């Protein structure tokens, strides 16, 4: 099956995306099961800020791995990786770059988690701060290296098999990213918590060691012509995405306090949305590179509408919807957006049934399925529309969307997805849905966050009114 590298028919998109999307979803289901299992471990109970750093650390696959996959996929579709010397230099440079970004993002994500956990209660703990910081840095570093290496291998194989890497690489990054990152975070934080209780110094040694090697990684990346530009200008989207995703972590931490099962579904909801919008953003950038001969700042003459209407974004290529087509310009991204939006339904239904039968042993209620799918649909629809605006706006400003768009989109997906999931759980509780009643109770009773208590009181009041 020959891929056109950006002009695929709808059935090519389905055949290439859906299998890897299902694999990605199974990885996210596994991540949810892991998070549900480890949330009552001593480290997670006594250092609840770990829950807050889960979304920004899981967001690394959007900040780093999916961005890497988008850059490498575009380079592959443009033929830049056909030269073995260039391919080797590009690969090594990108592996070093994601290490630099992973170490910095892991450290800053831990600081955000500490701030969000401590400020509401005006209380701090130095040893727990070291534990969280070391856990986040090691998790980000190891996960970034392993996943980046896998991404490079997948893109090379996809190129040789005449498949469009844009359709394949980002779902595989998503499938392995969540479960790998969560597993590493749980394992490392448990080891460091045990060491902390016995008076050890592993956390201090880890933090010091990473900051000693960070300047070396930065120097190597700066001197690599293929990634030096990303190193200089690629920090803003990565760091802003981390802050946005930390907001999603704050919502998740509050939701975990009140609802059973949130930790099972949050990785699936957020990961699936980020997966689908990552595919669309990567395809859009490849299209713009081909349509303009990689001239950043220049849009195709017949497709230069930066901010189309939602109708135009999804249906502007259909004859019946030409009135919304932004002044008669063509809309090459409507069909892929519709295909990706439709793929979420069979995928999410399968993922939810797997979670229910593994954890509870019976199927979800119609009410649960209805509100969950509405939340998932709204999240992906918002992200696909934002992708159209962000990619074209960044390209017009001279910024490569492969380096900047996906981090913003996946981070916004984490925040919007977690918020919509929490809203769905609130509505289900108000309506008396009993789908998750057989899940064991959980929570962090030792945590006394004022903001969480206020939210729980509001939710309880709404339930009583009902």
3-state SS string for the chain: CCCCCCCCCHHHHHHHHHHHHHHHHHHHHHHHHHHHHHCCCHHHHHCCHHHHHHHHHHCHHHHHHHHHHHHHHHHHHCCCCCCHHHHHHHHHHHHHHHHHHHHHHHHHHHHHHHHHHHCCCCCCCHHHHHHHHHHHHHHHHHHHHHHHHHHHHHHHHHHHCCCCHHHHHHHHHHHHHHHHHHHHHHHHHHHHHHHHHCCCCHHHHHHHHHHHHHHHHHHHHHCCCCCHHHHHHCHHHHHHHHHHHHHHHHHHHHHHHHCCCHHHHHHHHHHHHHHHHHHHHHHHHHHHHHHHCCCCCCCCCCCCCCCCCHHHHHHCCCHHHHHHCCCCCCCCCHHHHHHHHHHHHHHHHHHHHHHHHHHCCCCCCHHHHHHHHHHHHHHHHHHHHHHHHHHHHHHHCCCCHHHHHHHHHHHHHHHHHHHHHHHHHHHHHHCCCCCCCCCCCCCCCCCCCHHHHHHHHHHHHHHHHC
Greater confidence (417 vs 322) lies with: 417
pLDDT band at 6 (very low <50, low <70, confident <90, very high): low
Q: What pLDDT was estimated at residue 59?
A: 67
Q: What pLDDT was estimated at residue 62?
A: 56
pLDDT band at 448 (very low <50, low <70, confident <90, very high): very low
pLDDT band at 354 (very low <50, low <70, confident <90, very high): very high
Predicted structure pTM score:
0.75
Residue 421 has pLDDT above 90, yes or no: yes
Q: What is the pLDDT of residues 183-200, one digit of tens each?
A: 899 999 999 999 988 888
Q: What pLDDT was estimated at residue 325?
A: 46
pLDDT band at 345 (very low <50, low <70, confident <90, very high): very high
Percent of the chain at pLDDT > 90 equals 24
State the average pLDDT over residues 41-69. Answer: 76
Provide the mean pLDDT of the chain. Answer: 81
Q: What pLDDT was estimated at residue 61?
A: 58
Q: What pLDDT was estimated at residue 237?
A: 83
Residue 158 has pLDDT above 60, yes or no: yes
Greater confidence (73 vs 425) lies with: 425
Greater confidence (121 vs 222) lies with: 222
Q: What is the pLDDT of residues 97-132, one digit of tens each?
A: 889 988 988 888 888 778 777 766 666 677 888 888
Q: What is the pLDDT of residues 255-294, one digit of tens each?
A: 888 888 888 898 888 888 888 898 899 889 889 988 888 8
């Amino acid at each position: 099956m020959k891929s056109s590298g950006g002009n695929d028919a709808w059935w090519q998109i389905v055949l290439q995306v859906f299998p890897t999307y299902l694999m990605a979803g199974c990885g996210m289901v596994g991540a949810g099961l892991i998070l549900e299992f480890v949330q009552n471990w001593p480290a997670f109970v006594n250092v609840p800020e770990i829950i807050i750093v889960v979304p920004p650390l899981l967001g690394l696959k959007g900040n780093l791995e999916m961005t890497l996959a988008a850059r490498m996929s575009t380079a592959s579709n443009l033929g830049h990786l056909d030269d073995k010397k260039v391919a080797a230099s590009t690969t090594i440079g990108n592996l070093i770059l994601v290490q630099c970004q992973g170490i910095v993002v892991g450290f800053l994500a831990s600081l955000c988690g500490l701030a969000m956990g401590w400020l509401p209660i005006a209380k701090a703990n130095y040893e727990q701060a070291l534990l969280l910081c070391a856990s986040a840095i090691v998790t980000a570093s190891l996960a970034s290296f392993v996943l980046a290496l896998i991404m490079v291998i997948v893109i090379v194989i996809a190129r040789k098999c005449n498949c469009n890497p844009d359709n394949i690489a980002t779902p595989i990054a998503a499938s392995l990213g969540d479960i790998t990152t969560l597993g590493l975070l749980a394992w490392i934080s448990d080891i460091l918590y045990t060491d902390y209780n016995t008076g050890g110094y592993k956390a201090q040694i880890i933090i010091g060691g990473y900051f000693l090697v960070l300047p070396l990684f930065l120097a190597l990346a700066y001197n690599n012509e293929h990634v030096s530009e990303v190193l200089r200008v690629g920090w803003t989207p990565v760091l802003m995405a981390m802050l946005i995703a930390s907001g999603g972590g704050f919502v998740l931490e509050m939701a975990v306090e009140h609802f059973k099962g949130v930790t099972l579904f949050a990785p699936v909801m957020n990961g699936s949305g980020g997966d689908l919008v990552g595919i669309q953003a990567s395809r859009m950038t490849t299209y713009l590179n081909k349509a303009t001969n990689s001239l950043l700042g220049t849009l195709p003459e017949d497709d230069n509408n930066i901010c189309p209407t939602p109708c135009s974004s999804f249906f502007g290529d259909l004859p019946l919807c030409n009135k919304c087509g932004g002044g008669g310009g063509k809309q090459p991204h409507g069909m892929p957006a519709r295909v990706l939006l439709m793929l979420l339904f069979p995928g999410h239904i399968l993922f939810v049934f797997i979670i229910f039968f593994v954890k509870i042993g019976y199927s979800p209620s119609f009410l649960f399925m209805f509100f969950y799918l509405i939340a998932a649909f709204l999240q992906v629809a918002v992200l696909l529309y934002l992708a159209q605006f962000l990619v074209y706006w960044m390209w017009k400003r001279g910024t490569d969307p492969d380096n900047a768009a996906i981090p913003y989109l996946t981070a916004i997906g984490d925040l919007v997805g977690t918020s919509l999931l929490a809203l769905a759980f609130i509505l289900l509780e108000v309506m008396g849905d009993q789908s998750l009643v057989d899940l064991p109770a959980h929570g962090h009773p030792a945590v006394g966050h004022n903001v969480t208590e206020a939210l729980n009181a509001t939710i309880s009041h709404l339930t009583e009114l009902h």
